[in-house]
Chains A and B, each alone.
Chain A
Amino acid sequence: MSLRQLPPGADAIDVASLRVSYDDVTALEHVSLRVRPQTICGLIGVNGSGKSTLFKALMGLVQATSGTVRIFGAAPKDARKLNAVSYVPQAEDVDWTFPVSVRDVVMMGRYGSLGHSRRPRPADRAAVAAALERVGLVDLQHRQIGELSGGQRKRAFVARGIAQDAGLLLLDEPFAGVDKASEAGLTGLFKDLRDEGKTILVSTHDLAGIPQLCDEAILLHQRVLAHGRPETVLTNENLALAFGTALSDVPEGHHGHH
């Protein structure tokens, strides 16, 4: 199965009136948003604003209390079966001591299209080799995953999404713990991937990097406060709404993690 079986012309992400509650806490409400294919969309909000919940809803990891989610026109369950979505986790959510090599991690991108025992075929090895080449990790492919730098670790997980041939990449704080030079490299890689047809939704604290990286931005605080071109979204007024007083305490040029 492949992405090509999905209806043509559909939005990469189409969320309508989404509401997600855990017990008595509402994480998301009245969330409606559409992201066209081949777009890099920044997702901005404080911790607890519902960014992670939105990611989970896109992957079908949480049940919507009401509303609908469509990925390339398909329900999350079907999108998963079609390998349409790939998730790059936050650094702190990964066990970096786990005994897997960089190549092993990238190969995990192929599992969805493999048989029950997930034994790789020559085509899968070729896809993994191409993905490693694409992100520039060929020389480091036999290293244990934790033996990479922050930026290289992100590249490894992005390569997994490339090997998966996912149309939508969900990146959770990809720039946290990454130095400036690697950040510039990653930004270039994401733009190249967009130009090749990928859609990228990236949650980030790095407000300064957003105009540079993103085609559009979404400001989230349980609901969508603003969605549009970065310069129209990132106004002082909107940021004050999303970040409250937290941001006014932060000196200019410093992007704090709250």
Chain B
Amino acid sequence: MDIINWLFEPLQYGFLTKALLVTVAAAAVSAALSCWLILMGWSLMGDAVSHAVLPGVALAYIFGLPFSVGAFVFGAGAVALIGAVRSTTKLKGDTAIGVVFTALFAFGLAIISKTPSQTDLQHILFGNVLGVSLPELLQVLVLGAATLAILLYKRRDLTLLAFDRIHAHAIGLNTRWLTALLLGLLALTVVVGLQAVGIILVVAMLITPGATAFLLTRNFDRMLLISITITVAAAVAGIYASYYLDVSTGASVVLAQALVFLAVYLLGPRNGVLWQWRRRRARAAESRQHEQIPA
């Protein structure tokens, strides 16, 4: 069977199997987190954390530490810094975010420019999923599984936090702790995702899945399920497309997510823009007909 060959041919290469595993794990975790991120209105925060981990990744390579340790320290550090700037000034939230993450990103670039070539900027920024080593694969799988497990276990509290923070507080939940938990999980998700698609594109994995699922349902549990399913499927499709079309893997995976979003945006059964347009046209035609009938 041709199709079977077509599917299995890439898997003969160990590096492609590893790439597939890393990407699927990253897709599942980021798709889950994405649902809360977009409902909290934290898309910019996702962008910030993903850029801010750059110095952490660079330093981890230099000192021979696991990349995830460096990335998490700087991701969480960025969140803390943003919180500090916000609470000690009258600056708006997005301003505090903008100042902190660009500074950290520039710091990362500076470190890389001063170190010998073993740290490849291109790989950190745009991902190097085809060159993932076994220890890196294991880090991604363990961190991904842990992040997903915590997200699912605390999903009701996190949804309440996003929906009605005051009620959460009024019934005795610790909203600060929950906010910190979600931010910590965001940092972990970035750590998992950047291995698959790199620092620049990981933000797409944090935003697009939730956005697509939001357009398809009005039930949170279903949104979570749709988000994960669609994103994992798009990730696999992206890996195959990258192999057969010979394009950058990270770009291919993110483009696959974007194409699914576009399809849902245009054709989604609930609020697809094309259907809305057709309904409007039908209504306009109907009212024209009514006008033509003499009173």
- Which residues in A have some Cβ–Cβ distance to B below 8 Å? 59-61, 80-83, 85-87, 89, 93-95, 98-101, 104-105, 108-109, 111-112, 116-119, 144, 147, 160, 164
Dominant secondary structure at the A interface: mixed
Q: Which of B196-232 contact A (CB under 8 A)?
A: 214, 217-220, 222-223
Residue of B nearest to A114 (CB): B156
Check if B163 sits within 8 Å of A144, measured CB to CB. Answer: no
- Which residues in B have some Cβ–Cβ distance to A below 8 Å? 39, 153-154, 156-157, 159-160, 162-164, 166-173, 214, 217-220, 222-223
The number of A-B residue pairs with CB atoms under 8 Å apart is: 75
Given contacts A100-B220, A118-B156, 12 further A-B contacts (CB under 8 A): A59-B166, A86-B167, A93-B166, A94-B164, A99-B39, A105-B163, A111-B157, A111-B171, A112-B171, A116-B153, A117-B154, A118-B160
Pick the contact of B163: A60, A82, A108 (CB < 8 A): A108
Q: In whole angstroms, what is the CA distance A117 to B159 when docked?
A: 12
B178–chain A nearest beta-carbon distance, Å: 11
Which A residues are CB-close (under 8 A) to B166?
Answer: 59, 61, 87, 89, 93
Check if A108 sits within 8 Å of B160, measured CB to CB. Answer: yes
Check if A100 sits within 8 Å of B163, measured CB to CB. Answer: yes
Check if A100 sits within 8 Å of B170, measured CB to CB. Answer: no
Check if B163 sits within 8 Å of A111, measured CB to CB. Answer: no
Which B residues are CB-close (under 8 A) to A60?
Answer: 169
Q: In whole angstroms, what is the CA distance A220 to B218 when docked?
A: 40
Question: Can you give 7 A-B contacts (C-beta < 8 A)?
Answer: A59-B166, A82-B172, A83-B171, A87-B170, A94-B164, A98-B162, A99-B214
Check if B218 sits within 8 Å of A99, measured CB to CB. Answer: yes
Which A residues are CB-close (under 8 A) to B154?
Answer: 116-117
Q: Which of A83, A104, A109, A144 has the most CB of B within 10 A?
A: A104
